[in-house]
Structure 1
Amino acid sequence: MLSPPIRPRTGWIAALVVALATGLLAAVAPAGAGPDRRTAQEAQAPRPNVVVVLLDDMRADQLRFMPRTRALIGAHGTTYTRAMSPHPLCCPARASLVTGQYTQNHGVKSNFPPSGGFPALRRPGNTIGRWLARDGYRTGWIGKYLNEYRNEHGRQRGWHTWQPLVRNLYTYKDPVFYGDARPTPGYVTSILRRRTDRFLSARSKRPFFLVAGHVAPHGTLRGGRWVPPVAAAPYTNAYRKLRPSSFRKPSYAERAIDDLPRDLRVKKPSRRYLRGYARGSARALRSADDAVASVVRRLKRTGELANTYVVVTSDNGFLLGEHRIVDKDVLFDEALDVPLLVRGPGIPAGATDATPVTLVDLVASILDWTDVRPGRRIDGVPLDDTGGRDTILIQTGAQTRPTALMNGGWGYRGVTTARYLYARRAGHPHQGLLFDRARDPYQLRNRYGDRGYRAVQRELARRTAALGQCAGAAGCNRSFGAVPEPTADASTGSLVVEPALATFASRAAYPDPALTSAPVGDPSLVRTGRGTVLVATGTLVPRARWDKGRGWRWTRPALRRLPSWARAGGVWAADIARVGKGWRLYYSAPVAGLGKHGRCIGVAVAPSAYARFRPGGKRPLVCPPRAKTPDALDQVPGGTGLPKRGIIDPSLFVDDGRPHLLYKTDGIPSSIRLLPLNGRGTAPAKGTRSRELLRSDGVIENPVVLRYGDDYVLLTSEGDYSRCTYRETWRRSSSLTDWSGAVRHPLLSRRSTDGLCGPGGADVLETPDRTTLWFHGWVREGTTRPPKPPFWFGHRGPRARRVLYGAVLRMVDGEPVVGRWLG
């Protein structure tokens, strides 16, 4: 069973918003209800910088050899544990990173002509560097670019600093950069680090975008053959006893390979060679780790760290003997999986995200962070807005000139889902790959052509045909629904059902709002014996009621007056709930001493949800000690590293009859805290204080807790509430007070809702027949149509206001799943 209804309220200022005009807020307020949204600060923040540290052939599990990166980027940002390179080879992957497109659209299918290398890139002057430079950014590319790029190809358009490697890339020593007549003496990673530092130290009023393309941990080319990577002097003797992680896998030096296509059947590799390769890679990565630390140190010295997105990733993964292969450009998980760490404004700190994302999505994210329009049709979606996508296109190119000419340059083309990996070999319709990760996590048994998997294979082939021709975000990021189950003809084994995806059923357009007669921000809903009551952000808490046969209608504001400790202003994010035999209204009221928008939480009481609530007591329920109010019943401890701001977003949760109050500490970083309450819900429980549950370097707000069996599900809103990228997420934990290991998952976003702008501030309403989810989103003033990005309320785009949306909410295997719309 779910717990009694628990409510969230939208927190206010997002990572990239520093200004919203107060007059604009009044312009969109409902008559007699005050502003529909909370006021924001008055000066616009500077545009963010972006630094991408791009590694070469780094496996996802090799992140352990970069301790400084994990400490400086991972601990202060988000690690994406299911990031992948959809075309796992150097040049096609890098082409995707400069275009934001899949291979069929940018044209680079391999590392060498006729179907690959830099000459195959379509419109080479139309890349992300040019798009950002055109929009006022100082841009730079330092290090490895696309394979086969030479001096004769000329300086590429849009890059103010253009220093790609053109010779001696894989010797690790004395590289030659574009335009240089002679090599630059030294170890390549150290040289790239110094050049990167010079770029970051340059004085300029413009924001910057930089890609540092490292060679590590790619193999070394010596005498026409590949040998282990070369280490820098400090690390030549490191990891002398390291064993490759592949040695511990059942897929290492796989015995039975007759079920694989002929071109994937190779001889077993030398264990000695693999040990040397793994150790060389680890040593090379330590130098790259130093380069990442140097980036962070330089940004800190220049004062730009807080306003810079730092990304660490690789162009593809690498197999170290799995399935006997020592290579990339094959469609096994070890080649597809790449590390991806991101820190920056609004990125949750110390978080892990298991959402499947790709390098193509990274480009869409950079454009989203910088608010820049692309010069191409982008195939990816932002990392935090993948919505209900359940299938990702994967592919490789032909390895030889004859096959490139015969098969259009393709090697394998297929798709991956949470459960299956499928690919068909180009020109060989009876050869391909089909792995069932639920039964076979190490991909030891190829099910391609298996009679029991015929329906599965047909469905995945259909998806490959659809995505293989896709262009643009809408066509390349789709939810196809469930894959058929294997039949009884398949060999027995323990099947794991593919996880339910938080996605809406397919629709042709965005849904209609449930309530539009007045603005609704930060909705909180509760069921009564007579109907449903809603409260929202505004003057004295605007209130509406829903009755069968009459629908929604606005009534008197819920709060009779502001408490004595508050100053004049709008009330934010109220939460209405029944506690015992009475009703409680938790709200965020403005106070003195915390800046223009500082607020503290109070509680008001009433005998009915329809009555006027009276503020209780002469002190706030929760407030920082620096506020100019009587001491609050609970105070956030000082010295916690949080900004000196207010307390907002109260949300009541009743666990086994004991009430708890969740709330948000405002500002950046932000946090979610939990306060046990007494049985009446009016004061802290005896002998208790609030404790921190989560903290984010960006904005995390609107906490709502659901109970499912022995577990808890926490809903939160994240991002800038005044933009279309605002979204709702969820986490699951077995403990109400420990969320340290909980993984964040998407629930609502612009993409998953077919175009709603800024869906968030969600609340859950439980009735005997169903559970529903209610949330707000932006619409253009006078219409029910959402504005389109780059909308930014009060700054860019049309006049707009927030309205109420509803949907059915189901719990499937402990995961919240959003169902049909409620109009």
Structure 2
Amino acid sequence: MTRPAPTTVEGDRVTPPGSRPNILLLMADQLSAFGTGPYGNTDVLTPNLDDLAARGTVLSHAYCNAPLCVPSRAALMTGRLPSDVPSNDNAEEFPTSVPTFAHTLRRAGYRTILAGKMHFVGPDQLHGFEERLTTDIFPPDLTWTRPWEEQGDPPRLSGAQQNGGREYLDILRSSGTLPWTYQMHYDEEVRFAALQRLRELSLATDDRADEPWLMVASFTQPHDPYVAPPEYWNRYEGRPIALPEPPPTDVPPHPLDVWVNSYHGVDRGTVTDETTYLARRGYYAMTSYIDDVVGSFMSELERFGVLDNTVVVFTSDHGDQLGEHGMYFKRTMREWSVRVPLIMAGPGVAAGHRVRTPVSLVDLHPTLADLAGARPPEWVSDHFAGTSLAAAVRERSEVVAGHPGVVIENSAEGTLRPVRAVVRDHHKLVYARDLPDQLYDLRADPQELTNLAEEQGHDEVRLRLRERALTGWDPELAEKEMVASQRMRTYLGEALRHGRHTSWAYEPRVDAAHRWIRSTDDDPWDPLCGF
């Protein structure tokens, strides 16, 4: 059967199929940019990421749009801020009717394939992907709704909100090595499935063989717990691992920092240097595993002769504090929590280049559309909170012309009201209603030790960034809507726990009866046998 060419409607531009690259998006989970070699960390071993950076472009100041999995990934997929999806915490449904970059590229004639974690919440576990090779690792339902009204002030993860009875401080203190981990088990399944599909696509001779493909392979490491098998843990035996500078003792912590440390239980006990070292060692060990994964994909692209026609993008959904500023895990607007790696390499991407403009994950939808030669109609692109980075990575520009600035949101657990941060040039403002502003000069003060919000001479930049934070956003209304959503989801979750349970978890489909050698017509010398 001959398939029709991609549909073109007014406002769309589709580049001829033969000139369009494949796109491989590799994702880590909870990987801070500061935990990788291309971003200056000399303690961690990431040779494959270093190589990818050398043959491509590093976005030096890339941010997530939420310091938590579900809202960050929804923003990445849609190009919208989490509040506009809406997808604000780890248990708010991602609406089926919101377009993603998978829809955009699929409509332009791409095969769209997903393997691994995307943490979609709701019965739609595809969101534009034609194929999904594995199930997800975390709940797709309303299980993780954690209402602000039940957390207290300061917020605590306790009681029914806990998972497995463990608090975060317990997780931190359990860092170390194990023969195998559930995260390795999951990630190896994802790697195997994605590499197998990549090989099949490279060898395909069917009527869709000429179609370009988009593959997202998303892994769960180096997400906590900070535990790794010996073959990765031992890579750091005898290697120096720098510990974070202790937070200043002469400045009272900001309420947002108090809230996050309370939620994670870090304030309930002493976190020793040894505990921090073990957590960092486990985190770096898992990061080295992710680096090996990147290497395996690059090797297979090269083996099958498609490396030169594939744009490879590497990123993460958010970061991890790892003790910086006396904080651990995520859920904060501090730099280690919100800065992510974003590296691109392949046809049309400048090699050995760095883009200095602060960018964020909402820029990926318009960027991938540009790289694929597809232009979404205005009723899709008008919702974009970012802009395409394609020109900057093609033209070796250090600046993304016309970039609107970075907006980061946090309306999830660990806070008691919606928070917004804005990053422009080298300044960052953190805003929450009825709390003191935080303003940092990230160039002069990368550790965010000096809050300039109340100091003379900084009113102009503070007010300008605050105006940007409040543009199109009412923090009081956002708080009311978030509380109402939490209440409703709690009610629905309680209802769905009664009676027969129908899972929203994705179930991969495998037609084993028609794979491998099943008759005398199957030729075992054919590399496509069994596909």
Q: TM-score range by the shorter chain?
A: 0.5 to 0.7
Partner residue, 1:48: 21
Change (3 A) 1:68 1:456: closer
Change (3 A) 1:419 1:350: closer
Q: How does 1:637-652 map to 2 (within 5 A)?
A: none
2:386–2:404 contact (8 Å) kept in structure 1: no
The alpha-carbon deviation at position 388 of structure 1 amounts to 3.7
Match of 2:347, as an amino acid? P
1:269–1:325 contact (8 Å) kept in structure 2: no
Partner residue, 1:424: 431
In the alignment, is residue 144 of structure 1 matched against residue 117 of structure 2? Answer: yes
The alpha-carbon deviation at position 208 of structure 1 amounts to 0.7
2:421 to 414, 437, 452: 414
Q: SS of the counterpart of 2:318?
A: coil
Q: SS of the counterpart of 2:76?
A: helix
Partner residue, 2:448: 443
Give the RMSD, CA atoms, in angstroms: 2.8
In the alignment, is residue 255 of structure 1 matched against residue 255 of structure 2? Answer: no
Count of residues in Structure 1 that have an aligned counterpart in Structure 2: 388
Change (3 A) 1:167 1:344: closer
Partner residue, 1:264: 258
Partner residue, 2:73: 94
1:125–1:158 contact (8 Å) kept in structure 2: no
The alpha-carbon deviation at position 269 of structure 1 amounts to 3.2
The alpha-carbon deviation at position 97 of structure 1 amounts to 1.5
In the alignment, is residue 395 of structure 1 matched against residue 420 of structure 2? Answer: no
Partner residue, 1:82: 61
The alpha-carbon deviation at position 127 of structure 1 amounts to 2.1
Q: How does 1:546-695 map to 2 (within 5 A)?
A: none
Change (3 A) 1:66 1:160: farther
The alpha-carbon deviation at position 258 of structure 1 amounts to 1.0
The alpha-carbon deviation at position 434 of structure 1 amounts to 1.5
Change (3 A) 1:159 1:166: same
Partner residue, 1:191: 189
The alpha-carbon deviation at position 468 of structure 1 amounts to 4.3
1:106–1:122 contact (8 Å) kept in structure 2: yes
Q: Distance in 2 between matches of 1:391 and 1:136?
A: 31
2:62–2:360 contact (8 Å) kept in structure 1: yes
Q: SS of the counterpart of 1:435?
A: strand
Q: Distance in 2 between matches of 1:125 and 1:398?
A: 21
Partner residue, 2:46: 67
Could you say which structure has the larger radius of gyration?
A: 1
Change (3 A) 1:47 1:437: closer
Partner residue, 1:643: none
1:83–1:339 contact (8 Å) kept in structure 2: yes
Match of 1:292, as an amino acid? V
Change (3 A) 1:205 1:285: same
Q: Distance in 2 between matches of 1:455 and 1:154?
A: 45
Q: Distance in 2 between matches of 1:71 and 1:439?
A: 26
2:49–2:294 contact (8 Å) kept in structure 1: no
Instruction: Kindly provide the CA deviation profile for residues 448-488 of structure 1, in whole angstroms up to 9, marking residues without a partner as x.
Output: 3445544433222122222648xxxxxxxxxxxxxxxxxxx
1:243–1:278 contact (8 Å) kept in structure 2: no
The alpha-carbon deviation at position 349 of structure 1 amounts to 1.4
Q: TM-score, normalization: structure 1?
A: 0.44
Partner residue, 2:362: 360
1:393–1:464 contact (8 Å) kept in structure 2: yes
Q: Distance in 1 between matches of 2:138 and 2:49?
A: 30
Q: Distance in 1 between matches of 2:73 and 2:316?
A: 9
Q: Per residue, is there more strand in 1 or in 2?
A: 1
Partner residue, 2:107: 134
Q: Distance in 2 between matches of 1:284 and 1:187?
A: 13
Q: SS of the counterpart of 2:36?
A: helix
Q: Distance in 2 between matches of 1:212 and 1:66?
A: 21
1:380 to 365, 377, 386: 386
Partner residue, 1:110: 89
Change (3 A) 1:468 1:73: farther
Gaps of 5+ in 1: 1-42, 176-185, 221-227, 470-823
The alpha-carbon deviation at position 130 of structure 1 amounts to 2.4
Q: TM-score, normalization: structure 2?
A: 0.67
The alpha-carbon deviation at position 336 of structure 1 amounts to 2.0
2:467 to 456, 462, 469: 462
> Equivalent pairs: percent with the same residue?
26
Gaps of 5+ in 2: 1-15, 38-43, 140-162, 164-177, 262-266, 393-399, 475-531
2:63–2:340 contact (8 Å) kept in structure 1: yes
1:48–1:207 contact (8 Å) kept in structure 2: yes
1:213 to 196, 211, 218: 218
Q: Per residue, is there more helix in 1 or in 2?
A: 2
Instruction: Kindly provide the CA deviation profile for residues 585-617 of structure 1, in whole angstroms up to 9, marking residues without a partner as x.
Output: xxxxxxxxxxxxxxxxxxxxxxxxxxxxxxxxx
Instruction: Kindly provide the CA deviation profile for residues 772-810 of structure 1, in whole angstroms up to 9, marking residues without a partner as x.
Output: xxxxxxxxxxxxxxxxxxxxxxxxxxxxxxxxxxxxxxx
The alpha-carbon deviation at position 436 of structure 1 amounts to 2.8
Partner residue, 2:345: 343
Q: Distance in 1 between matches of 2:430 and 2:308?
A: 43
The alpha-carbon deviation at position 156 of structure 1 amounts to 2.2
The alpha-carbon deviation at position 77 of structure 1 amounts to 0.9
Instruction: Return the structure number with greater relative CO, CA threshold 8 A, min gap 6.
Output: 2
Match of 1:425, as an amino acid? A
Match of 2:105, as an amino acid? L
Q: SS of the counterpart of 2:325?
A: coil
2:283 to 281, 284, 287: 281
Q: Distance in 1 between matches of 2:385 and 2:113?
A: 23
Partner residue, 1:300: 302
